Structure formats: structure tokens, C-alpha cells
């Protein structure tokens, strides 16, 4: 018997006999096949909404499929966004920001069991490699490889949908450098996580991710000595750096597939009160995705390399963002962002009242002040012989509380590589 189901409800072993995009547009298959690997599931998530499976069970016993799922509306990621207007942004704002932040369906929750941790790790590192290659192309005056960037972005999207906590934690535990590529990848990971919490569609998330990956590519045309200058910048130097926005748009304009991103990239330095650049527009005249990037890029800058510098902790960064809400940033989005990352963002070191220090590994949506914590050290910062992950939202652990956040400098010989290996997030995992 034939049965149409959403891609998110697929499980290994199902025989797929038709795709909603047709076999001629299939990224891999030309005829019916049995789903076996997480990589194949990731491909289907990227390209399809509904598939037809062959089953011996009665059709009425299968999960119901809504009319919108049976006939999904096609979305073109290459369609250029109209210039920012109050009306268009109001519609986008309502569509993404007013969606429920309740827990995803069981089908989506089960997705993590079908997309491997290795897929997430490989997606992260391959995206960084592709970014490095494309930034070098831009430095040489060549156009960007839009196809490779889009494939990489879609893999990050699948990773976010399947294992959002894993991808975010991986971004925090990988040794950071000062490269533009690494900064852009971290911004993309944070943007995907936040956009997912807003209820954005897959097409919106893909567009946001692509914009995040390329938002500052114009910085390659700014003299390196100017970017590394420690003295206070002159007005002329500040204006020169601000021109990186125009340079980014010029680079994206060289590729027809990437031109639609300009309507986001061009405005990510605008501020809600109109004090930003280059256009000085304000409020919801700024595109929704650009308002999101304004928050994410600021948060990333406040926390970058915090393990080995005097940069602030995530908690301090959230406090600063809250102080700047309705001035520099959209106040409602700031509040939603803080709700999204929780009081103790993923990657934060915390001390428990049981005299143990652990790292926040995931956020519980229904109790964001009660995250999952992997206990790693005793209260003196010495490694524990056995690591235990605690879900503080569990009723049985209600007496276990976080007493404070811990500065990385308090842990002797803290090694991000060691932590990544302990959590199974090293590249060879």
C-alpha cells in the first residue's frame, strides 16, 4: 500500500517509492530505494517535503498528513527579496516571531536518532573548509561557488533540525581562531539555532544561514593593519571599515544565485533606533533577518575566544544585550533570543550545589533555567574519575541547583580538545 508522509516521519528501513520533487530532480536516486543511512535522510530533508512509501499496514493507521503537507507550497530560495518596507517586514515579523515556541513534535524529536553525531561534526568542519576556499576565491577576485556554499548551508540546517544542542556545543568547544571564516561559521550556527526557536521555515532558515555565512565577506577588502589596530580609530578609518558592507554586497552581486542575500547583508549593521549604518534606517524597516544578525553578531563578538581572553561570559553578554534592547536591537527579538539560549547558554561552565563543576550541554525548552549539565570537575577544578550528565529539569533532581557560573580560568589546564573528546565531539568521533 502507498502512503504519503512528511520526510520528518521517515525511519530506517522504509521503502521510498516516490518523491514530491520527482526522480528527475532527485539529488541521488533514480528509482525506489530503502532508507538506511542518516546521510540519505539528510539529503531528503534538504530537497523534499513529502515522500511516498510502500507499506503493508492499513493506511488509516498511519499518522495523518495535513492538506498543506500533501500539497506543499514551493519555495524558491533564489527569489530576490523586495526592498525593506514596514509592511513587508511586518508580515515576516509576524510569520516568524509570533510562532509558538512549544516543544517540537515527536517526529521531529526522533530526527536526532536518525542523523548521526558524525554527520553534524563533518558538516561543521566541511562548512569551514568551504568558507575558507570561497573567501580565498573572493580575495583573488573570483566569484563565489554558490552551489558549494548552499550545500554546506543545508547540511548545517539539517544538523540544527536534528541535533541543535550538538551543533551549538561543537561550535563552542572547537578551538577558535581570529579568522573571518570561523567567526562567520559561529554566527551561522547561532543564527540557525535562534531562527529555529522562532519557528522559521526551512527556506527561511536556509536564507538566514547563507546570509550569516557571508555577512562580513567584504572585510577581506579592508587593510589588515586597520583591522588589527589597537589605537582608537579616526573618523576616516571608521568610515573605511564601515565600507565592508558595500564590499560584501559587491562580492555577492557577482553571483546571480547569491544576489538575493544583499537585502539582508546590506542592513545587518543597522540599529533599531536608527543609529546604525549604512542607511540609518530604524525599527521594522530593517529586514527581520538583518535584525536577527545584528543580535547574533554582537553576542558572538562579546563571547569570542572567551576561554583564553578577557572576553565576557555568555551570561554577561546576554545582560548587555538586554540593556541595549529597543535601542540598538529589536527588544522583542532580544527577549526571544535570551529565552532561546537560556539563562545558562550551551557551553557555559557552572557549579552545582553538590560541589561539582560541569558544562551545559543542552537546553530544556520547558525549563530554560534547568539545563542539561555534564559534570566534569570537582569544586577545585580537578577532573572527576567518572562523568555524569544530569538533566536538571528532571523532577528527581529538583534539589540539585546551579549556584554560579564558572570562569574558564578557574579550571587548571582546561583543554577544549579534551572536553570535546570527553563529549564525543572531536573530529575523529
| CA gyration radius, the chain | 22
CATH topology for 86-341 is: Hypothetical protein af1432 (1.10.3210)
Nearest to 260 by CA among 46, 48, 83, 47: 83
Give me the pLDDT at residue 309, please.
41
Give me the pLDDT at residue 110, please.
61
What's the CA gap between 359 and 64, in Å, rounded? 40
* Highest mean pLDDT pick, 58-72, 302-316, 415-429: 415-429
What's the CA gap between 346 and 363, in Å, rounded? 7
What's the CA gap between 19 and 256, in Å, rounded? 28
Contact 385, 377 (CB under 8 A): no
Task: Determine the average pLDDT of the residues in 82-99.
Answer: 44
pLDDT at 135 over 90: yes
Strands 356-362, 372-378: pairing kind: antiparallel
Contact 350, 405 (CB under 8 A): yes
Measured CA to CA in angstroms, residue 45 lies from 7, 26, 42, 67, 143 at distances of 6, 12, 5, 19, 28
Cα angle 364, 196, 89; round to 5: 135
Give me the pLDDT at residue 105, please.
47
Residue 360, beta-bridge partner list: 373
Task: Determine the average pLDDT of the residues in 263-268.
Answer: 95
pLDDT at 417 over 60: yes
Q: Where exactly are the structural domains of the chain?
A: 2-57, 86-341, 349-422
pLDDT at 102 over 70: no
Q: Is 72 helix (H, G, I), strand (E, B) or coil?
A: coil
Question: In this predicted model, what pLDDT tens digit does every residue of 228-255 receive, in sequence order?
Answer: 888 888 999 999 999 999 999 999 999 9
The residue whose grid cell reads 564601515 is 242
Contact 289, 262 (CB under 8 A): no
Exposed e or buried b per residue across 54-68, where buried means at least 16 C-beta atoms within 10 angstroms of its C-beta: ebeeeeeeeeeeeee
C-alpha cell at position 62: 498511519
Which helix (H) or strand (E) segment holds residue 225: the answer is helix 224-227
Q: Percent of the chain, pLDDT > 70?
A: 82
Contact 284, 89 (CB under 8 A): yes
- What global pTM score does this model have? 0.75
pLDDT at 67 over 70: no
pLDDT at 266 over 90: yes
Amino acid at each position: 500500500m502507498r502512503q504519503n508522509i512528511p520526510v520528518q516521519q521517515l525511519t530506517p528501513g522504509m521503502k521510498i517509492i516516490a518523491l514530491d520533487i520527482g526522480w528527475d530532480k532527485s539529488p541521488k536516486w533514480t528509482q525506489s530505494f530503502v532508507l538506511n543511512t542518516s546521510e540519505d535522510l539528510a539529503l531528503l530533508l534538504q530537497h523534499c517535503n513529502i515522500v511516498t512509501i510502500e507499506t503493508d499496514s492499513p493506511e488509516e493507521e498511519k499518522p495523518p498528513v495535513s492538506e498543506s503537507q500533501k500539497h506543499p507550497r514551493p519555495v524558491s530560495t533564489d527569489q530576490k527579496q523586495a526592498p525593506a518596507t514596514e509592511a513587508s517586514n511586518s508580515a515576516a515579523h509576524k510569520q516568524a516571531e509570533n510562532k509558538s515556541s512549544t516543544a517540537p513534535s515527536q517526529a521531529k524529536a526522533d530526527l536526532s536518532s536518525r542523523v548521526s553525531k558524525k554527520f553534524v561534526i563533518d558538516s561543521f568542519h566541511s562548512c569551514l573548509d568551504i568558507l575558507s576556499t570561497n573567501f580565498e576565491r573572493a580575495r583573488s577576485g573570483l566569484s563565489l561557488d554558490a552551489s558549494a556554499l548552499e550545500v554546506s548551508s543545508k547540511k548545517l540546517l539539517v544538523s540544527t533540525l536534528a541535533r541543535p544542542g550538538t551543533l551549538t556545543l561543537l561550535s563552542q568547544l572547537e578551538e577558535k581562531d581570529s579568522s573571518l571564516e570561523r567567526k562567520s561559521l559561529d554566527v551561522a550556527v547561532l543564527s540557525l539555532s535562534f531562527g529555529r526557536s522562532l519557528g522559521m521555515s526551512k527556506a527561511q532558515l536556509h536564507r538566514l544561514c547563507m546570509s550569516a555565512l557571508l555577512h562580513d565577506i567584504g572585510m577581506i577588502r579592508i587593510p589588515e593593519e586597520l583591522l588589527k589596530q589597537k589605537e582608537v580609530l579616526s573618523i576616516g578609518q571608521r568610515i573605511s571599515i564601515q565600507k565592508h558592507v558595500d564590499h560584501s554586497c559587491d562580492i555577492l552581486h557577482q553571483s546571480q544565485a547569491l544576489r538575493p542575500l544583499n537585502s539582508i547583508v546590506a542592513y545587518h549593521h543597522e540599529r533599531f533606533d536608527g543609529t546604525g549604518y549604512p542607511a540609518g534606517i530604524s525599527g521594522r524597516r530593517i529586514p527581520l533577518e538583518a535584525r536577527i544578525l545584528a543580535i547574533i553578531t554582537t553576542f558572538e563578538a562579546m563571547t569570542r575566544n572567551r576561554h583564553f581572553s578577557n572576553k565576557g561570559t555568555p551570561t554577561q553578554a546576554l545582560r548587555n544585550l538586554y540593556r541595549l534592547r529597543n535601542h540598538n536591537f529589536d527588544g522583542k527579538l532580544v527577549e526571544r533570543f535570551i529565552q532561546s539560549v537560556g539563562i545558562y547558554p550551551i557551553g557555559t561552565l557552572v557549579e552545582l550545589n553538590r560541589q561539582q563543576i560541569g558544562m551545559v550541554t543542552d537546553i530544556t525548552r520547558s525549563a530554560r533555567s534547568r539545563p542539561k549539565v555534564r559534570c566534569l570537575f570537582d569544586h577545585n577544578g580537578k577532573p572527576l574519575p567518572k562523568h555524569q550528565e544530569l538533566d536538571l529539569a528532571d523532577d528527581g533532581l529538583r534539589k540539585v541547583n546551579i549556584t554560579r557560573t564558572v570562569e574558564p580560568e578557574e579550571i587548571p589546564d582546561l583543554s577544549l580538545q579534551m572536553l570535546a573528546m570527553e563529549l564525543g565531539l572531536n573530529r575523529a568521533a
